[in-house]
Amino acid sequence: MSQSLSQEVRSDWARKEVEQLFALPFSDLIFKAQTVHREHFNPNEVQVSTLCSIKTGACPEDCAYCPQSARYDTGLEREKLMAVEQVLEEAKAAKASGATRFCMGAAWRSPKKKDMPYVTSMVQGVKELGLETCMTLGMVDEDQAKTLADAGLDYYNHNLDTSPEFYGEIITTRTYQDRLETLNNVRIAGMKVCSGGIVGMGEQESDRVGLLMQLANMTHHPESVPINMLVRVEGTPLSDQAELDPFDFIRTIAVARILMPKSHVRLSAGREDMNDQTQSLAFLAGANSIFYGEKLLTTANPEANKDMQLFKRLGVNPESREEQHTEQEQAAAIAKQLDAQANAHVFYDAVQS
C-alpha cells in the first residue's frame, strides 16, 4: 500500500487493500481518514438532514432488522401515506430547526402508480422551501426514477445493507442485484445516489470489507454514504443480536471515508445508543453528515438541541447548503454516459474478491 496519505478517487479497490486498511492500528487509521477528509471537506462542518416517514409500516419485505416489516410484531402503528400538506409542514419545521436537506421515506417494496403524483408533489413542495430533497421508496424502475428526477428530486436513497455474501442472512424477498438495478436506474435518471449499509447485524469484518468495496468500486461513488449501526428492535429477528464493538463501527466509518473521499459519509441510525465520545470519534474518522431530530423513521434519534450542544462543544457548524448547479451538471453528465452504455449493468460491475 502506498505510504502517501493523499487519496485519489478510485473505483478499483482490491480486497487485500481494504483489508489492510481495516487492520491498521486505530490511531493510524483515524489519522489517514482525517487527512483524506480534510483534502475534500471542511473538517468542522457537518451536513444536517431531517428524515420524515411519509408512510409507516406494513412493508411486505422480510429485512431482519426492520420494525416496519409486516412479518414481525414490533408494536409499530401502521400509517397510510401522509398528505402532501402535512409533509410540507414537517419540512418547514425541519428548515426552521437548521436542516438543509429533507429526506422522505416510505415503507414500500416499490411505489405504486397511484402513489407517484403524491410523492412528486412532495418533492416539488419541499424544493420550493429551499431544501435539498431525498427519498427512499423501495425499488424503482427506470420510468419511476425518471418521474422522480423530472419532479426535481436531488437524491434517491437505496442501501445495499451488507456484503453480497451475508445478504441472504438478512433479506430473502429481494436480491442484491435488485438493489444494484435500482441504483443504476437512479443514476441513469440523473439523480444523485445515497447508498450505504448497516453494521452490527452479526456480520464479520470481511462483510464490512465487502460492503464498502461494492460501494467504492462503483464507477461513480454514491454522493452520500449512510453508515448505520443496528438498532435492535424487539420483535425483529435481530433483536437479540450482540452489540458491535464501537471501535469496529468507527473503523467502518474511517475506511468508508478513505475509499470514497468526496462522498458525504452519514452517521445514521444507532446514534441514540452512542455517547458523545463515540459520535465525536465518528466525526474525527470522517463522518460529516447526520440525521437531525427526535425520530429517525421509526426509531429514536438524539434530540435536536442535544446535537447542537455537541456541535458547540466540538466547534462544529452545520454545513450550509451550497448551490447545486455544479452537482446537477455532474449528475446529468453521468446519466448521459450511462444511457449510452449498451449494457446498463456495466455501471455496477460485480466486485471480485
Residues annotated as catalytic (active site), given as ranges: 59, 63, 66, 103, 134, 194, 266
Retrieve residue 11's grid coordinates: 473505483
Cell of 197: 449499509
Residue whose C-alpha is closest to residue 181's, from 346, 54, 18, 336: 346
* Per-residue cell: 30: 483515524
> In a 10 Å sphere around its CB, with 0-12 CB exposed, 13-18 middle and 19+ buried, how is residue 106 labelled?
buried
Strand 224-229 and strand 264-267: the pairing is: parallel
- Compute the distance between CA of residue 259 and CA of residue 249 in angstroms, rounded to an integer: 16
Residue at 124: amino acid letter: Q
Kindly state the cell numbers that stand for 165: 455474501
Provide the 8-state DSSP code for 236.
S
Nearest to 255 by CA among 202, 299, 212, 316: 212
For residues 63 and 69, give the distance between their C-alpha atoms in angstroms, rounded to a whole number. Answer: 7
Task: Round to whole Å and give the CA distance between 297 and 106.
Answer: 9
Q: How far is CA 121 from the centre of its chain?
A: 23
- CB half-sphere exposure, 10, CA atoms < 13 A: 14
| CA distance linking residue 353 with residue 210, whole number of Å | 8
In 10 A of CB 336, how many CB atoms?
A: 11
* Cα–Cα distance for residue pair 146/185, rounded to 1 Å: 8
